[in-house]
Chain A
Amino acid sequence: MNIFGPNELLKNVTDRNLCTGCGACVDLCPYFKSYKGKTAMLFSCTIPRGRCFAYCPRLEVDLDYLSEDSFGKPYGTDPLGFYRSIVISRAGGKFTGNTFQAGGTASALLYFALENGYIDGAVLTGRDGILPTPRIVTHPEDVLSCALSKYTAAPTLSAVNRALSEGLKKIGVVSTPCQTLSTALMRTNPLEENEFTDPFGLVVGIFCTWALDFRVFEPFMASRVDINTITKTDIPPPPAEVMEIHTNGGEALSIPLDEIRALVPDACLYCMDMTAEFSDISVGVLEDDPGGNTLIIRTERGEMIVDEAVKKGYLVVDDMPERNLMHLKDAAGSKKRQALKKAYEAGMVNTSEDTISYLRLHTETLEKIISRE
């Protein structure tokens, strides 16, 4: 992987509208800051090789290298990426009485991991009104206050950067696919620092097809409802085709998903990962079951934590029906194919060695994914 600096980041990501606002480059230094979902560079920085470039999930992402590093084999063609098992899950008996999004699996696992010392801090996304705000949490109870889903991009990784500079050593994080990809980049020690250890104790990826730009979403919402009264935002699993806005005033507001999709930023169309393929475990909605989650278990570490959580009553799991799995693969595969094709046609995949590429992977694998119908 070639590593350059902030100027190359600006040129290849920011200026091309590929930035997803993941926060990987934010709060590493005084130059990149995030405000209301947008990443801005405050002043010029002249460093030729920097962490901002190295951690950015839109720059020089060698999927084979990352896959070897995480799973011991090159990047494959499975729409869901590498996994050990896929189950249905929901928060266990320990959490009766709490409000969750869907099954509450992510919250339950982070709570468990923090309480039992697998992680010394959790980086989650809370909210300030309807603005998603990254939070660093060190007490298990505080995990639950960040329980609900957000549909606009949050710079969660900026809190990872801050947590690490504040001295936390084994972080748990709930991250979108692009953010998860960044954690995988971070784990490879790209700048070859001495005495480097894996800063993560548990990476929980969440399914994502898109994340809206807060600055577009806020006025869109404000024109339909008093945003100060919103308590929960939800997109129920298929076959529902709406976004539900719950308020503390009265009824829930239902907005047709088509209207929401019109707001999807361009950057999301270049993302080929729906299920956060480089996590320890990935969590998403469960078709036809608003109170459950799909849980993809990928790494040994992830598997171990899930097993322990189940044993101790923090999580309940069950077999995943074949039909749900097929639909999930279809959805994920479709996004992967479309995004990869779009990126490839834009000349952003496997560019020559001395240039900066968005993605790198074996040509055979690339071709198989793009051509599959």
Chain B
Amino acid sequence: MSYLIENRNTDYLLMGNEAIARGALEGGVHVVSGYPGTPSSEILESLSEVATERNLYVEWSINEKVALEVASAASFAGLRSMCVMKQNGVNVASDFLLHLASSGTRGGMILVACDDPGALSSVNEGESRPFARLVEIPLLEPGDFQEAKDLTKWAFELSEEIRNLVMIRSVTRMSHASGNVRYGELPHTHAKADYRFDGPLTDPETGPVISMIVGVSELQHGPQQEKIRKAAAIFEECPFNTYEGPEKPDLLIITSSACTLYSKEAIRLLDMKETVGILKLATTWPLPPRLIKKHLCSAEKILVVEEVLPILEENIKVLAAEMVHETGPVIFYGKNSGHIPSVGELNTDIVISALSAIFDIRHEVVSESFAKKAVALLEHKAPVRGLTMCPGCPHRASLWSIHNVLEMDGREGFVCGDIGCYVAGLWPGGFNTIKTLHSMGSGSGVASGFGKLKQFGMDQPVVAVCGDSTFFHAAMPALANAIHNNSPFTMIILDNRGTAMTGFQPHPGIPVNAGGETVPSLEIADICGAMGAKVEIRNPFDLEETQKTLHHLIEYEEGTKVLILRQACALSPERKDKPEYKMVVDEEICIGENCGCNRICTRIFGCPGLLWDREKGVSKINDIMCAGCGVCADICPAGAIKKKEVV
């Protein structure tokens, strides 16, 4: 039995994401959807493991917009549902999100957004919090792991109370961190889907569920705003908003999310428990005005600790401005004062710096000489580890071929990049091939645009790369657009048979679903062909054939082309720990650094399965890392790298 559905009376060590999953189970969830995105993926994964036992429907949807739509259907039918995604996913879902917030929901529904301050696993640190205020739904943020569970369960009740979805926002340091959680009861739920739609258009409970009757905003928008006011009233008494500290603190910290833990620790290390209080808000939109007022009255100095944008800070300042005649003036510290950085994630040390600055004190943990020694050693003795593709990664072979073809073609062709492990194409490890990078599927749209600039003198071959999951998520419309508008770019689909970067989840191109069952799959080549593209499929490990095909496509083929480079990811169940070849370097033949090679395998190709032996001046296979794909044998100019089939 999965520990997620156990019921022992003991503490469990759970990841924040697992705690949210358990909270959803305790809250009686039945339908869970999402799209893989770090740091959110484990929520859905852990629920899919218990789907049968707990009568859940769990779906990895094609993208976050559809995922939200799928979850909303369950809610319209009276079931409790949850949709999970990373911060960027909310952007993708936002159009539907806005309309859903307008139409309202029935069964309790939660949108879980996991943000990535510091962009540890993203190409931006954009925030999801503003969406709550923008689309006018409540926003909740758990401050630790127990709360991640309890708040999620409570959120379903809140959602049904106000008849609208509720957003829970987590961050990497909550979702991927772990801590003690004590379980509650798992309910026996009666799950009967019942979508009622025969009532009048104006009745959101029995009539059709619609965003708005055109031109009559009072009918929907008014009630929607009423729901927010109702939430604010509920939040005044919410047990998850807690205060810890003296009645009249010298400084009040107002914080939420993981920043709660940083603030708590900073106070402990500076020994300020008697003078600094922490107001931890779990309900960060709408802010409960009476609660805020009470605390604004108790302190003259306030430090707001939050990550990335000053959203909480500015929302509190609005209230403070409105209530100043009741609370007296307050001095605010935070991002706008420069005490808390506006970029990157926070930690205890940053909060300590802020407090030290405010109170004009010095906090030293180690001697200055130790600190200096540490910095010097780090600079000189600890080589940096850059991002690199795994040994045996098919993208390495694909990017190698793409790079070489564009160089030989000589017309300054370039690649529009996309989101996935092949992002390594930005760096030397991916041969510096990628020249634009934005959001999911955007590479193809941008390439479609570049392809139409010929009338303005742009004659360069344009290529876009995207993964198989990304193709389904967002690139299909861009491809259709290009074909329809005659944009002659080449879309290269790096099909490694799964959503690899986030942990190898399935997608519509894979005949397996979140629960591991066999399901129909969509064939990418057929879809592209049906759209009208010229389609070729090749194995990227066959460098010669791949390059020959790509040369032909970018030189001779009219219209929009699709080259599918299909080879399973090195970490996929298909290939992990199943090397195709045993590799070995014949040191007698190896040219090494001399003219004729200049160790292209380790210096340029850079697979972690290869090592450079400086003393001997030859390359070697790193047996622990080598995945046995055999590609390095094909790039060795001397034929010194040998591959032998493993039986």
Chain A residues proximal to chain B, CB less than 8 Å: 28-31, 33, 35, 38, 40-43, 45-47, 49-52, 191, 215
B635: Cβ under 8 A from any A Cβ: yes
Leading 9 A-B pairs by shortest Cβ distance: A35-B408, A50-B595, A29-B596, A30-B637, A43-B604, A40-B407, A38-B410, A40-B408, A30-B600
Task: Evaluate contact between A42 and B596: CB separation under 8 angstroms.
Answer: no
Q: How far is the CB of A38 from chain B (nearest CB, A)?
A: 5
Contact of A30 (CB < 8 Å), options: B408, B410, B593, B597: B597
Residue picked from B597, B598, B637, most chain A C-beta under 10 Å = B598
Q: Is B264 an interface residue (CB 8 A)?
A: no
Q: Which residues of A contact B594 (CB under 8 A)?
A: 47
Number of contacting residues on B, CB 8 A?
Answer: 18
CB neighbours (8 Å) of B409 from chain A are 35
Question: Given contacts A29-B637, A30-B600, are A41 and B407 in contact (CB under 8 A)?
Answer: yes
Contacting residues, chain B, for A45 (C-beta < 8 A): 598
Q: Which of B551, B596, B600 touches A43 (beta carbons < 8 Å)?
A: B600
B382-405 contact mask (Cβ, 8 Å, vs A): 1 or 0: 000000000000000000000110
Q: A308 CB to closest chain B CB, in angstroms?
A: 36
Contacts of B431 in A (CB 8 A): 43
Residues of chain A with a CB closer than 8 A to B593's CB: 47
Cα A215 to Cα B555 in complex, Å, equals 11
CB distance from A9 to the nearest CB of B (A): 12
Q: Give the complex CA separation of A352 and B551 in angstroms.
A: 43
The A interface is mostly helix, strand or loop, or mixed, namely loop
Closest A residue to B547 using CB positions: A35
Instruction: Determine whether the beta carbon of B595 is less than 8 Å from that of A51.
Output: yes
Which residues on B sit within 8 Å (CB–CB) of A40?
A: 407-408, 410
Please measure, in the bound complex, the distance between the C-alpha atom of A46 and the C-alpha atom of B600, giving whole angstroms.
Answer: 11
The answer to whether B595 and A33 touch across the interface, beta carbons within 8 angstroms, is no
Min distance, Cβ B572 to any Cβ of chain A, angstroms? 29
Contacts of B596 in A (CB 8 A): 28-29, 51
Which of B404, B595, B598, B635 has its CB near the most chain A CB atoms (within 10 A)? B595
- Pick the contact of A46: B403, B598, B637 (CB < 8 A): B598
* Nearest CB of chain B from residue A132's CB, rounded to whole Å: 16
Tell me the B residues contacting A by CB distance below 8 Å: 403-404, 407-410, 431, 551, 593-598, 600, 604, 635, 637
Residues from chain B with a CB closer than 8 A to the CB of A28 are 595-596
In the complex where A30-B637, A35-B408 touch, is A42 in contact with B598 (Cβ < 8 A)? no
Give A187 Cβ to nearest chain B Cβ, in Å: 18
Decide: B410 and A35 in contact? CB cutoff 8 A.
yes
Contact A33 B604 (CB under 8 A): no
CA distance A30 to B595 in the complex (A): 10
Contacting residues, chain B, for A38 (C-beta < 8 A):
408, 410
Give the CA-CA distance A47 to B600 in the complex, in Å: 12
**Pair B410/A47 contact, Cβ less than 8 Å:** no
Please state if B595 and A29 are interface contacts (CB–CB under 8 Å): yes
Closest approach, in angstroms, between the C-beta of A136 and any C-beta of chain B? Answer: 17
Contact B404 A47 (CB under 8 A): no
Sample of 5 further A-B pairs with CB below 8 A, known A30-B637, A31-B598, A33-B404: A29-B597, A35-B408, A45-B598, A47-B593, A47-B595
A43 to B409 alpha-carbon distance, docked (Å)? 14
| Nearest neighbor of B637 in chain A, beta-carbon distance | A30
Give chain A nearest CB distance to B596 CB in angstroms: 5
A42-B407 contact in complex given A28-B595, A29-B598, A51-B595, C-beta closer than 8 Å: yes
Contact among B408, B597, B598, B600 for A33, CB-based, below 8 A:
B408
Known: A35-B409, A40-B407. A191 touches B600 (CB 8 A): no
Q: Is B403 a contact partner of A42 (Cβ separation < 8 A)? A: yes
| CB–CB B595/A191 < 8 A | yes
Most chain A CB inside 10 Å of its own CB: which residue of B404, B593, B596, B597: B596
- Chain A residues with Cβ under 8 A from B597's Cβ? 29-30
User: Nearest CB to that of A46 among chain B residues?
Assistant: B598
Residues of A within 8 A of B600 (CB): 29-31, 43
- What's the nearest-Cβ distance from chain B to residue A4, in Å? 12
